[in-house]
Amino acid sequence: MDTDFVLRRIDRTFAFIDLSGFTAFNEKAGDEQAVDVLVQFRNAVRNIASKRGVRIAKWLGDGVMLVGVEPEETVDSVLEINSFINDSDFELPVRAGIAGGWVLLIEGDDHVGREVILASRLCDSAGPGQVLAPKELVSPLMNLTQTDLGEVMV
């Protein structure tokens, strides 16, 4: 592999959170109202993630990519963000995907690997208000009821 930078494998947990229905909302309500919703969403994510030590890796338009060192803190952040949005007078629900494992760290702040892709695809597959994660990640952390979806391609 020929690179100009050092590659390092690290163990991290990734979450993608997306405002469900944002494009349709933007078209209906207009840009100014859409920006108001984005500001509220970003403030909620910043407040909740930062108090748990979870880093905002990047904003993705109407979504965000989070990176955590501790799986439990990342999962708890996503669940708290989801609950906060669902329990408030927020205009739109969120959907999320979470995955964790060993990935490559590139240039000190970017991540490449299967787990990043899996978290993104799980978010894309989630319905409004839904958080999807592999049972291998969630089972050790919580006493949750699991629904077997069978073989799912993401």
Q: Report angle CA 21, 22, 27 to the nearest 5 degrees.
A: 105
What is the set of domains in the chain, with CATH numbers?
A: 8-138 (3.30.70.1230)
- What type of residue sits at position 148? D
pLDDT of res. 108 = 81
Give the model confidence (pLDDT) of 108-139 as tens digits: 888 999 999 999 999 999 999 999 998 887 76
The model's confidence at residue 37, banded by pLDDT at 50, 70 and 90, is very high
pTM, whole model, 2 decimals? 0.85
1's tokens = 């592999």
Is pLDDT at 46 greater than 90 in this prediction? Answer: yes
Compare 2 and 78 and report the one with higher pLDDT: 78
Which residue, 91, 50, 67, is CA-closest to 16?
Answer: 67
State the residue for tokens 């890796």. 57
